[in-house]
Amino acid sequence: MKLLPHIFFLFLHILLLPGCAREDHSLTLPHFKAQITGNGFSSFVSPGRAAGLTEFQTGDRILFFCKGGINAEGLILTFDGKNWQADVPIEWEEKGKAYFTAVYPVLERDAGGNYAKEQLYDKERWNLKDILFCQDSCEQNSVIRLKFGHRFSQLNFIVEEGLNSRAAEAGCRSAMIESFDPRTGKIAYASQDIQSSQPNRHDGNVYGFIIAPSAPANTSSVDFSLAMSDQTTHSTRLSSLVFQAGTAYSCSVKMKDNGIGIYTAEDFIAFTYLINGESYNGRKLEEFGETTNGTTVYYLKNDIEFTEEESDRLKTIGGAQLKGKAFKDIFDGQGHTLSHIRLTKKLNGYTNYGIFGETDTTGIIRNLTVEDISFTQNGNIGYVGLLVGVNRGKIYNCTVKDCTMKAASKSEVDYSGITCSNQGSIINCHADNINITTDKTVNSMAGIAKYNRGNILNCYVTHMKFSGSTGGAHVCYENRDNIQNCYVYGTEGKYNALCYSAINDSYIAYCYYPDTYKKKPVEVEQKPNHEMLLKYDKNCLIKDSNEALHEKMNQWIDEIGKIKYPDFKFTKWTEGENVPATFVTQP
């Protein structure tokens, strides 16, 4: 019993000693070594396309800056194949998030800590260097993951082979960068432009230039020139454009035979103003078309992809709000494509809306493909077609594909894939993979035309996707006139193959749809006047007769079309690879 006080004292002494030692010597928290990883960076992305990923290589070096939980000012980090390493380990020092930036490549900085223009451009041809930039944050003691993107833009000029073979050098005049701050990513622009150059590419015909992105709230202009071997110069100008960081843009450069036609997005924008009677930067409508015997034809010379900013600048060609301005001439796409146009204008009342708002009885749109066009309802009530709002003329050899149309809640809209209201003729046309949705069940929909009061002849509709409406059809919602020699392919959904409502003098004949479809090809018929509405099987053979679908459609052209419609030129059919039948020569 006498030993108990001593044992208690010894136990108390043991407990107190560590406390005293910790109070005297452990005032600083332990440091954690920072792990910095991330070996990929986004490639330049084209408008409307997803970016790919490119990887850093072992030995690549970056500049690293950090504030907050880590303090680093322009440390050089080297990639070891897995992580980014500094000469001296980087440690977390304080509680809180870390706010970091990183830049590739490592360049000499000026007295202000910036990359000056002398470092950003090579001194031989004054081409801008590609700068990768990362700016992000992470929580205390977390792994720092670097995700780089291109800080500047890329502009590729694709030169026609016949022109490129005679070129000695390519030049690009664009906005000049005075300096770049690697700590913030901020760009300071010079007051003058800079001329960059590249020698002739005998191994290819694409000249790619890194250029400054447009300054906030500003547009940019770029001049491209080819110095020819015969001492002449071929030049083109891109004006009033918005170039975004990390985005690659393309421009086709071709020999301009007589110089007439639409070659660029800027040309098409100018055309949409001028054709509506509005001025545009001193441009003339005569640049884009020729008039012979009173008929004017406008020519599309290249495939054109539009950025979102360029889409916003487009005018609808003709429309109900432009009295007397319905398109009366001929627009010849010459087999080219317009893509990535966003139709977002506010509709006030009955507005004919699309790339073309309205065509007059003399108006013709031919040999044109429109791809990845989107319409989002903005306002109440409108006749909307992706190609034409209201067609009173002719649509020949045109394709509308991979497009979307969406009506907002509580709005009324009349819309369809190619045209909303057809009062003229649609011939040799194809509607493919158009996704139409609505939140309002009364907004009925169709693939080619919602209302047909004219001719739909020798056309096909594939892979339509409808949702939200109680009524619709793959070809036409309401027919009051003539539909012949057309076929439908793809998932049926809950909509009719050919027509929902046939009214008055409706005539539908020699049209075909899959034998897997369960609904009637025409839902409502006031005065049935239809014939030869036939199913085909999985082998694309007409049920009962066993004739091939494409041969049956060619038979109509030879025996009916050419005789009954001598003024129309019908395109023949052949067996398709991924669809039952396709045109022998694509528009």
In terms of pLDDT, which residue wins out, 408 or 395? 395
Residue 545: φ, ψ to 5° = -85, -20
What pLDDT, on a 0 to 100 scale, did the predictor assign at position 376?
Answer: 82
Query: Average pLDDT, stretch 284-289?
Result: 92
What pLDDT, on a 0 to 100 scale, did the predictor assign at position 525?
Answer: 83
Q: What is the Cα–Cα distance from 276 to 387, expressed in whole angstroms?
A: 17
In the chain, the percentage of residues whose pLDDT exceeds 90 is 60
In the chain, the percentage of residues whose pLDDT exceeds 70 is 87
What pLDDT, on a 0 to 100 scale, did the predictor assign at position 423?
Answer: 96
Q: What is the pLDDT of residues 45-102, one digit of tens each?
A: 765 444 456 889 999 999 999 999 999 999 999 999 999 999 988 999 877 899 999 9
Q: What is the Cα–Cα distance from 482 to 413, expressed in whole angstroms?
A: 24
What pLDDT, on a 0 to 100 scale, did the predictor assign at position 203?
Answer: 67
Question: DSSP label at 264?
Answer: S
Query: Average pLDDT, stretch 42-47?
Result: 74
Query: Average pLDDT, stretch 281-289?
Result: 91
Give all domains of the chain, ordered by start, each with its CATH number: 32-149 (2.60.40.2620), 256-583 (2.160.20)
Helix (H) or strand (E) holding 555: helix 549-556
Q: Which of 126-135, 250-259, 491-500 has the lowest mean pLDDT?
A: 250-259
In terms of pLDDT, which residue wins out, 38 or 32? 38
Q: What is the pLDDT of residues 3-22, one digit of tens each?
A: 334 433 333 333 333 443 44
Asked if 361 and 392 count as a contact pair (C-beta separation under 8 A), the reply is yes
Helix (H) or strand (E) holding 366: strand 364-371
Q: Residue 559 corresponds to which tokens in the numbers above?
A: 């025996």
What pLDDT, on a 0 to 100 scale, did the predictor assign at position 440?
Answer: 62
Q: Which of 267-281, 325-339, 411-425 has the lowest mean pLDDT?
A: 411-425
Query: Average pLDDT, stretch 224-247?
Result: 85
Whether residue 280 is predicted with pLDDT greater than 50 in this model: the reply is yes
Q: Which of 10-24, 51-65, 223-237, 480-494 has the lowest mean pLDDT?
A: 10-24
pLDDT band at 166 (very low <50, low <70, confident <90, very high): confident
Output the average pLDDT for the chain: 86
In terms of pLDDT, which residue wins out, 347 or 115? 115
Q: Where are the beta strands (DSSP E) in 411-464?
A: 414-416, 419-422, 425-427, 430-438, 445-446, 449-452, 455-457, 460-462
Q: pTM (2 decimals)?
A: 0.64
Write the DSSP string, 205-234.
SEEEEEEPPPPTT--EEEEEEEEETTS-EE
Whether residue 487 is predicted with pLDDT greater than 90 in this model: the reply is yes
What pLDDT, on a 0 to 100 scale, did the predictor assign at position 24?
Answer: 42
pLDDT band at 433 (very low <50, low <70, confident <90, very high): very high
Q: Which of 214-228, 298-312, 401-415, 509-523 has the lowest mean pLDDT?
A: 401-415
Q: What is the Cα–Cα distance from 14 to 18, expressed in whole angstroms?
A: 7
What pLDDT, on a 0 to 100 scale, did the predictor assign at position 308?
Answer: 86
Q: How far is CA 274 from CA 77, 195, 289, 327, in A?
A: 55, 31, 12, 12
Q: What is the Cα–Cα distance from 341 to 313, expressed in whole angstroms?
A: 10
**Hey, which of 222-236, 470-484, 543-557 has the most confident mean pLDDT?**
543-557
Whether residue 202 is predicted with pLDDT greater than 70 in this model: the reply is no
Write the DSSP string, 442-485.
T--EESSEEEESSEEES-EEES-EEES-S-EESSEEEESSEEES
Q: Where are the beta strands (DSSP E) in 201-329?
A: 206-211, 220-228, 233-241, 248-253, 289-292, 295-299, 304-305
HSE-CB at 35 with a 13 A cutoff on CA atoms is: 7
pLDDT band at 527 (very low <50, low <70, confident <90, very high): confident
Asked if 351 and 382 count as a contact pair (C-beta separation under 8 A), the reply is yes
Closest by Cα among 433, 441, 440 to 462? 433
In terms of pLDDT, which residue wins out, 340 or 467? 340
**Hey, which of 194-203, 243-252, 356-365, 519-528 has the most confident mean pLDDT?**
356-365
Q: Residue 305 corresponds to which tokens in the numbers above?
A: 């992809």
Query: Average pLDDT, stretch 496-510?
Result: 92
Question: DSSP label at 129?
Answer: P
In terms of pLDDT, which residue wins out, 332 or 382? 332
Whether residue 237 is predicted with pLDDT greater than 80 in this model: the reply is yes
Closest by Cα among 379, 484, 363 to 423? 363
